[in-house]
Amino acid sequence: MDFNTLTEVQNKLTEGSITCASLVEEHLKRIEENQHLNAFLEVFSLDARSRATVIDQKIERGTAGRLAGMIIGIKDNICFKGHHVSASSKILEGFTSLYSSTVVERLLDEDAIIIGRLNCDEFAMGSSNEFSAFGPVKNPADQTKVSGGSSGGSAAAVAARLCHAALGSDTGGSIRQPASFCGVVGFKPTYGRVSRHGLIAFASSFDQIGPFTQSVEDAALLYEIMAGADEYDSTVSRREVEKTDFSDNNADQPMRIAYLKDALVDKRLDPEIRERTMNLIEELKTKGHTVEPVSFPWLDVMVPVYYILTTAEASSNLARYDGIHFGKRSEEADDLESTYKLSRTEGFGDEVKRRILLGTFVLSSGYYDAYYSKAQKARRVVKEATEKIFEEYDLILSPTSPHTAFEMGKEQVDPTVMYLEDIFTVQANISGNPAVSLPLGQHSNGLPFGIQLMGRAWDEKTLLGFSTRLMNNN
């Protein structure tokens, strides 16, 4: 039995036609039948069955939490105490987490059932999920295509209904782009809304945890539970987390929506995605919304700025994986220097090494001012330009990705070509704004694609509320 919202699940649980135990068994069976997708790296069968029994008892007593009945997978860079976590890298092979991330604790407190950890690009670096040390994730819509990255396992698991929802992390589009490729909802909150405590860091000033779901309603619920101040993460805001209004009271409220005209004339944009976006713009206008083009001439600047800054942060963050403290230690090493060199050489994949090298270069003496310092200034320009748009508009609309999921194993002469996958998504990470990919497109090639909405910082309520209206009307 397939469910699109947790409300549907909980209605069935209340009437007694299903139990959490039966839900777990059904999803474990589906995971077994879909191993070929390579979405799950590990399934927590015993944990899930045990929790299901306890939660069924809570439901009978009327004491169950808000997420009772929701089965969730977590990306393999989110810590869960007593369970392996590897960031899909050989360098953390066999490592067991000593504590749970704040997001996991908050989900468990509301009686979610965590069913396993999900494949991703190594250390969340990639846009295809082909850079995992444990093999690529296949797209459920077409198994010859990639699932997107870096949270491809999370997107594929939700799309194939191997779990009701999944957590991912978004550094430059790593939730929204795979959500677009797989045809599900992918939501990145405002930077600083959700604690990063227990998230294995890629680029600390960009990373943000968010959900994959079938519905905006479930994404909003998960966000509201995970968000809020955390004593373990000083970058988290103490602002009140407003609940999204899903009533029809605001159904006719006109919105002011901007779209980036530079994005829609970009030659890299698939013609069918352009047409669907333009049709949606016209639909919104006929319903009384103001939808206007705005100029944003920094489209081609954002990807280089993003990669300079994130690789610099990655170079620093990944220095801790040295073969000494934890994780992989090379068997060929015979002294301190060879332990460092060989362990990192054997443990990291090519893409991670490439980004560490680039990050180390832009931080090095003589190049810091030329690259890193300038990129920080450019980041400020992008942020201020984005804020200026939001002085006049409630939302910014754009395609999520320039195309649908591409062929798995596609040869790239220039590995940096893959970085252009983030062209429409990185703005929200550079500026820190919330953004969501909605599965509103179906290509003639049979593959889904998403439309992205970006909102004002800290105004997830408006973004998610309007997203629900958009989903319900399409």
Active-site positions read: 75, 150, 174
The 3 state secondary structure assigned to 186-209 is EEECCCCCECCCCECCCCCCCCEE
| Residue 76 to residue 221: CA distance in whole angstroms | 22
Q: What are phi and psi of 378, to 5 degrees?
A: -65, -35
Question: In Å, how far are 19, 107, 124, 354 from 5, measured between CA atoms?
Answer: 16, 16, 28, 41
| Residue 328 to residue 473: CA distance in whole angstroms | 51
Which amino acid type is present at position 57?
A: Q
Q: Output the CA torsion sign for 277, 279, 285, 289.
A: negative
CA proximity to 304, closest of 360, 358, 259: 358
Report yes or no: 103 and 195 within 8 Å, Cβ to Cβ: yes
| Residue 76 to residue 98: CA distance in whole angstroms | 15
Which amino acid type is present at position 232?
A: Y
Collapsing DSSP states into helix, strand and coil, what is residue 442?
strand
Report yes or no: 258 and 396 within 8 Å, Cβ to Cβ: yes
Q: Given the structure tokens 């090639």, which residue do they identify?
A: 445
User: How many CB atoms are located within 10 Å of the residue 410 CB?
Assistant: 12
Show the beta-strand stretches assigned E in 97-238: 113-118, 138-139, 142-146, 165-170, 185-188, 208-213
- Which tokens sit at 82? 């007593």
| Residue 207 to residue 18: CA distance in whole angstroms | 37
